[in-house]
Amino acid sequence: MSEKKNLNIGLIGYGFMGRTHSNAYCKVNNFFDLEYRPKLKAVCGRNEENAKAFANNWGYESIETDWKALIARDDIDAVDICTPNNTHSEIAIAAAKAGKMILCEKPLSMNAPEGEEMVKVIEEAGVANTVWYNYRRVPAVSLAKQLIDEGRLGKIFHYRANFLQDWTISSDLPQGGEALWRLDVNAAGSGVTGDLLAHCIDTALWLNGGITDVSAMTETFVKERMHSLTGKVEKVGIDDACSFMCHFGNGSLGLFESTRYARGHKALYTLEINGENASIRWDLHDLHRLEYFDHGDDPLVRGWRSVHVTDGDMPYMDKWWVPGLQIGYEHTFVHHVADFLDNLAKGTPTSPTFREALETQKVCDAVLNSASSRQWVNV
């Protein structure tokens, strides 16, 4: 393709997601043929020295230490929000009002009402937007979507998903501050529900359609922790574990579980869908494989197939190596940027948009309300 148009990126937050996104911006044009090229204009972090080191490492042209200054700059086209959940709304609303495109990390917001306000402002501003629910763009998960949309599973009966971790079991672990903001309800909004189940819910809504009502239970196993910012032992406000069951609009039943207390599991995101004709199963620890059972197979050799999702006719895979050679976690972010840039050129939205991500937020709110009220709650 001829001369590319620059898309000037202003990244806010240089932690885990700041790195995955920067990596994606650097790689995307090497593998995807696109009209636009992301230009790493500025990174914003509150610590000047760290921001400079990050900028040098990834090739950002400049730094800011206040996100408001970044948004005020004329040379920034798109703002990428990679900061803790309690900052998403204020930054996104300010960026939309300044006419910037927005790529916002998940979860969209602290809760659904906050998300509603974000959607309202961003749609009024008419700026391109997307939320980084990156697991949709694992090729095996995209392939699952294709198989379901082709009707191969037939009527869906069951949707099951787990997201299991084990990193907060120690009661000595503090809450709050850098790295541990996920344990502080004021920064995170919720615990595993907004952090881990939000991913499972986003994928489920995408693959299996809307959720109508939920019945949930949550538990906070460690009730008090030292707060890193105040130095005091404070009540823990997040859910350490959450399980819920639900009905989907298509008549299927859902079962979801997430915890940070499953000793031995680091990021075990698994999902299984059972349909009338076929079932599929996926596991983040083996993310390039899709397991598939087709009842229509010859009964003598019928069984679960483990499909190695690396062939060029499978989603995204024609852009990478040769059949048989797999890709990994970081590529999901490259795919998201590629789709965003492609859609920008075509003038079409990139899923999930803020409006679509709000649906996940509504389910999360219903789950937390159900757990506290011990009642079924409509979404």
Ligand X SMILES: NC(=O)c1ccc[n+]([C@@H]2O[C@H](COP(=O)([O-])OP(=O)(O)OC[C@H]3O[C@@H](n4cnc5c(N)ncnc54)[C@H](O)[C@@H]3O)[C@@H](O)[C@H]2O)c1
Q: Which is nearer to ligand X, 106 or 265 (CB)?
A: 106
7 binds ligand X (CB under 6 A): no
45 binds ligand X (CB under 6 A): yes
82 binds ligand X (CB under 6 A): yes
Residues that contact ligand X, how many (by CB under 6 A)? 23
Q: How far apart are CA 214 and CA 232, in angstroms?
A: 36
Q: Minimal distance in Å, beta carbon 13 to ligand X?
A: 3
Per-residue interface string for the shown chain with ligand X, residues 180-219, x marking contact by CB under 6 A: ---------------x------------------------
Start-to-end C-alpha separation, the chain: 46
Q: Which residue number has the CB closest to ligand X?
A: 15
Q: How far apart are CA 20 and CA 347, in angstroms?
A: 25
Hey, which residues between 54 and 73 contact ligand X (CB under 6 A)? 67
Q: Which is nearer to ligand X, 121 or 188 (CB)?
A: 188
DSSP line for 24-38: HHHHHHHHS--SEEE
Nearest to 197 by CA among 242, 229, 156: 242
Q: Which is nearer to ligand X, 79 or 156 (CB)?
A: 79
| Among the listed residues 39, 41, 100, 106, the single contact to ligand X using CB under 6 A | 106
Region of 80-88, 153-161, 245-253, 280-288 interacting with ligand X (CB under 6 A) = 80-88
Per DSSP, the three-state class of 209 is coil
Q: Between the CA of residue 134 and those of 296, 330, 331, what are the distances in Å?
A: 32, 9, 9
15 binds ligand X (CB under 6 A): yes
Q: Minimal distance in Å, beta carbon 316 to ligand X?
A: 17
Q: How far apart are CA 328 and CA 99, in angstroms?
A: 34
Nearest to 323 by CA among 313, 310, 341, 333: 310
H or E segment to which residue 219 belongs: strand 211-219
| Among the listed residues 22, 87, 165, 175, the single contact to ligand X using CB under 6 A | 87
Q: Minimal distance in Å, beta carbon 72 to ligand X?
A: 14
Q: How far apart are CA 357 and CA 34, in angstroms?
A: 25
| Among the listed residues 17, 55, 108, 156, the single contact to ligand X using CB under 6 A | 17
DSSP line for 51-70: HHHHHHHHT-SEEESSHHHH
| Among the listed residues 5, 16, 72, 251, the single contact to ligand X using CB under 6 A | 16
Q: Minimal distance in Å, beta carbon 170 to ligand X?
A: 19
Residues 6+ positions from 136 with CB-CB distance below 8 Å: 142, 145, 202, 203, 206, 351, 352
176 binds ligand X (CB under 6 A): no
Nearest to 237 by CA among 279, 178, 175: 175
111 binds ligand X (CB under 6 A): no
Region of 40-48, 136-144, 237-245, 262-270 interacting with ligand X (CB under 6 A) = 40-48
105 binds ligand X (CB under 6 A): yes
Query: Cβ(247)–Cβ(212) under 8 Å?
Result: yes
- Interacting residue ranges for ligand X, rule: CB under 6 A: 12-18, 44-46, 67, 82-85, 87, 105-106, 132, 134, 178-179, 195
